[in-house]
């Protein structure tokens, strides 16, 4: 039974958004190899439990267009640089996943055929049906977006059951917990709660797209070893974002 036949799929498929900043480990910039290996091993554990996993990786550990624009750089040019940063992270993750003996493909939203396949939705679906871990690189391929939006977009295209945002905080708080230690963590929120209260853990475009596609979002701390598998078993801490009942 395949998605391409149009029949209801008999499988569990998830998209994990890996924070670029999480790849820094304890560092202030770039990539900590041990952290990449640990995240790859966490992904392998979930794949071995029978779940189809695809990934979107951020680039904030290397370059963010919006930060460069604040210092005078042209925003779109900075965003293209940011998207290239995600490709670097995708290649590093691919290598670490292959060392876990997982079959992988990197598919890029910006054409760079020497190092990654171009993103073609139906090919990505086939890769996943064959048990490959697909890493979606270069975000949406468009400036003025983020990899959170790319994650919501690819999760909808792949008909994933859930979008997991693996970030540096263990859920969505009433305020940024890095700035306000008294902020309270929520176990569950509606998409509208997040939008109406401007809870900036994820950008509004990603929340809106997920809402339109009835795609549940789970926000959790990917910095904790084994957290991806624990969240998949329903063990917290995490915040679930769904439609209000
Ligand atoms: N209400 C909130 N609840 C939780 N975190 C929040 C909130 N508001 C802001 N944040 C911040 O949002 C950050 C996560 O989003 P951000 O886009 O900065 O990173 P990311 O997507 O994980 O990383 P990258 O962009 O590098 O891929 C958290 O580290 C936290 O500091
Ligand atoms: O669709 C996209 C995705 C990303 N960008 C740029 O890349 C950087 C890094 O992505 P993060 O989501 O911040 O990790 C982002 O700041 C943008 O500059 C993009 O332009 N379009």
Are 238 and 220 in contact by the 8 Å Cβ rule? The answer is: yes
Digit-coded pLDDT (tens) for 129-173: 999 999 999 999 999 999 999 999 999 999 999 999 999 999 999
Token pair recorded at residue 40: 């790859």
H/E segment holding residue 87: helix 75-99
pLDDT band at 11 (very low <50, low <70, confident <90, very high): confident
Pocket of ligand 2 (CB under 6 A): 20, 58-60, 64-66, 78-79, 82-83, 85-86, 139-140, 142-143, 145-148, 150
Of 193, 192, 196, 189, give the one whose Cα is nearest residue 219: 189
Are 109 and 117 in contact by the 8 Å Cβ rule? The answer is: no
pLDDT given at position 21:
97
Ligand 2 centroid vs 147 CA: distance in angstroms? 5
- Percentage of the chain beyond pLDDT 70 is 96
Residue 141, sorted as left (phi over 0), alpha (psi -120 to 50) or beta, turns out to be left
DSSP 23-42: GGTTSSSS--HHHHHHHHHH
Task: Give the largest CA-CA distance in the chain.
Answer: 52
Digit-coded pLDDT (tens) for 186-242: 999 999 999 999 999 999 999 999 999 999 999 999 999 999 999 999 999 999 999
Contacts of 245 (CB under 8 A, 6+ apart): none
Measured CA to CA, the distance from residue 117 to residue 133 in angstroms comes to 13
Measured CA to CA, the distance from residue 35 to residue 31 in angstroms comes to 8
Measured CA to CA, the distance from residue 79 to residue 142 in angstroms comes to 8
pLDDT given at position 153:
98
Q: Measured at the alpha carbon of residue 217, what is the angle toward residues 215 and 223, in degrees to the nearest 5?
A: 150
| Average pLDDT in the chain | 96
Digit-coded pLDDT (tens) for 20-72: 999 999 999 999 999 999 999 999 999 999 999 999 999 999 999 999 999 99
Complex ipTM: 0.96
pLDDT given at position 2:
42
Is the minimum distance from the CB of 168 to ligand 1 under 6 angstroms? yes
Q: Is residue 13 predicted with pLDDT exceeding 90?
A: yes
pLDDT given at position 9:
57
Backbone angles phi, psi at 99, to 5 degrees: -70, -20
Are 65 and 74 in contact by the 8 Å Cβ rule? The answer is: no
């Amino acid at each position: 039974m395949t998605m391409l036949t149009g029949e209801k799929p008999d499988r569990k498929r998830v998209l994990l958004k890996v924070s670029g900043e999480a790849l820094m480990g304890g560092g202030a910039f770039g990539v900590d190899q041990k952290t990449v290996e640990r995240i790859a091993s966490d992904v392998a554990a979930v794949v071995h439990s029978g779940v189809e996993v695809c990934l979107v990786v951020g680039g904030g550990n290397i370059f963010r267009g919006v930060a460069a624009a604040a210092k005078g750089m042209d925003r779109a040019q900075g965003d293209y640089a940011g998207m290239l940063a995600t490709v670097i992270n995708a290649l590093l993750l691919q290598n670490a996943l292959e060392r876990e003996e997982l079959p992988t493909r990197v598919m890029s939203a910006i054409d760079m055929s020497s190092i990654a396949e171009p993103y073609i939705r139906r090919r990505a679906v086939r890769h996943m049906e064959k048990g490959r871990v697909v890493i979606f690189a270069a975000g949406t391929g468009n400036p003025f977006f983020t990899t959170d939006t790319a994650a919501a977009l690819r999760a909808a295209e792949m008909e994933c059951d859930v979008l997991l945002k693996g970030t540096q905080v263990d859920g969505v708080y009433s305020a940024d917990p890095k700035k306000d230690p008294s902020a309270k963590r929520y176990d569950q929120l509606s998409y509208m709660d997040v939008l109406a209260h401007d809870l900036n853990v994820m950008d509004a475009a990603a929340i809106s797209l997920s809402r339109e596609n009835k795609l549940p979002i789970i926000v959790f701390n990917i910095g904790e070893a084994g957290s991806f598998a624990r969240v998949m078993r329903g063990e917290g801490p995490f915040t679930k974002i769904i439609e209000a009942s």
